[in-house]
Structure 1
């Protein structure tokens, strides 16, 4: 680090720092740790909310109401308080693992980050467990056709690294379930990864990549919302009630109103929310 380099960086970032200084000078070790710590903190917030969501569900509370209330506290804020199917991508999983490993190499056990990782791994199985429960056991779920909306680990990307959808599909394939999946941009990448993991023959037998969200629900027993793409936010619930054989939606991102879904004649299962039966 030199005075000249610091001056050049300040000039470069000046247009973006007029109201708040965003350039901080520090030693190399501190800079590295800052980057890892920031991502690990966000990952920890997500795992905390997911663990709280699972508690809220058994207590009869709604994690969405809890999230909103918590977010009003300025000491907490509203960012990264959304319960769901767990985090994925390249940064959060990698950086949490890196900090845990670095701690281990220096005789430091990072208990919170180890728990963050365990909670996240478990959360990726939550919707599969809900499917098993809804259908009355694994044997009754076996061979069913499940529609998946969204495959990428988050919206607006085709990144499939550590995506929760991969864990769900793995569990469904193990029961011989047929998966009809649709993602606006990640379908090609997802197919490549799934074929590499399960083999082309298995994917040919059990996986269908659909051309649209509506097409994915054709001949499906239930719908699972995995990734909260904007085009999934306002579906025709009445039409889905006519299409889905088991008349059920599993909302992995809590983007739907449970009462609205139930009123349309569909059962609703979310994350950290009380289950709703279809209104007859």
Structure 2
């Protein structure tokens, strides 16, 4: 989107619609955090969040403009601990997230998606990788401290998640 904006401006075209799309895209990245603070409050100290997916889309390690970048800054800024996994973007994540987050345990990059849920208060799906499509709900229920799922991609069936004993929050869903 930013490249399109730049191209339009370089051609001396007023990109009104493109600017509107960019504003909406940036606002969209903040929705998950609002849902999380609506449940837990603004102080997330002592809470652990499992984040599945760091790349801006599946099948890439590109994290530029990724929702995870905004979300992790918000979560850690509010005092939370984050356990994160992405099938491809882990090396990039180690390079771009602040070293002190990693050194002080605010952000733990784990080797497997289910390592992220151990002791977590909530699972947050950020990127819709295939490996996240059919989670082992029994394992999640056993390993998580609290049973909440924030589905940032509307990948899960809310009824199925709720019937398994989890609170469910999707985007634009109840």
TM-score, scaled to structure 1: 0.59
**Matches for 1:121-132 after TM superposition, within 5 Å:** 121-132=26-37
Larger displacement relative to structure 2 (238-247 or 164-173): 238-247
CA contact (8 A) 1:100 1:114 kept: no
Q: For residues 28-70 of structure 1, what are the alpha-carbon distances to aligned partners after superposition, in whole Å with 9 as ceiling and x for unaligned?
A: xxxxxxxxxxxxxxxxxxxxxxxxxxxxxxxxxxxxxxxxxxx
Match of 1:252 in 2: 152
Deviation at 1:244, TM superposition (A): 2.0
Match status 1:192 vs 2:95? yes
CA shift, 1:151, in A, is 0.6
Distance 1:100 1:169 in 2: 31
- The answer to whether the aligner puts 1:234 opposite 2:134 as a matched pair is yes
Q: Using CA pairs below 8 Å that are at least 6 residues apart, which structure has the higher relative contact order?
A: 2
CA deviations on 1:149-187 (whole Å, 9 max, x unpaired) are 011111111111111100000101111211100111101
**Residues 96-115 of structure 1 mapped to structure 2, 5 A cutoff:** 97-102=5-10, 106=12, 108-115=13-20
How many Å apart are 1:118 and its aligned residue? 0.4
2:7 & 2:62 partners in 1: Cα distance?
23
Structure 2 residue 35 is matched with structure 1 residue 149: no
| CA distance in structure 2 between the aligned counterparts of 1:154 and 1:240, rounded to whole angstroms | 24
Give structure 1 regions of 4+ aligned residues with deviation exceeding 6 angstroms. Answer: none
Distance 1:210 1:273 in 2: 29
Would you tell me which structure has more helix in proportion to its own residues? 1
Unpaired runs of at least 5, structure 1: 1-91, 275-280
Q: What residue number does 1:269 align with?
A: 169
**Helix, strand or coil for the counterpart of 2:97?**
helix
Q: Would you tell me which structure has more strand in proportion to its own residues?
A: 2
Distance between the aligned counterparts of 1:131 and 1:100, measured in 2?
37
Is 1:94 equivalent to 2:3 in the alignment? yes
CA distance in 2, matches of 1:187, 1:153: 13
Q: CA deviation at 1:204?
A: 1.9
Taking the aligned partners of 1:247 and 1:123, their CA distance within structure 2 comes to: 24
Which structure has the larger Rg? 1
Q: CA deviation at 1:101?
A: 2.7
Q: Which residue of 159, 177, 200 maps to 2:62?
A: 159
Question: 1:216 corresponds to which residue?
Answer: 116
Shift of 1:189: 0.4
Structure 2 unaligned spans of 5+: none
Output the TM-score relative to the length of structure 2.
0.93
In the alignment, which residue of structure 1 is the partner of 2:23?
Answer: 118
- Number of residue-to-residue matches in the alignment: 173
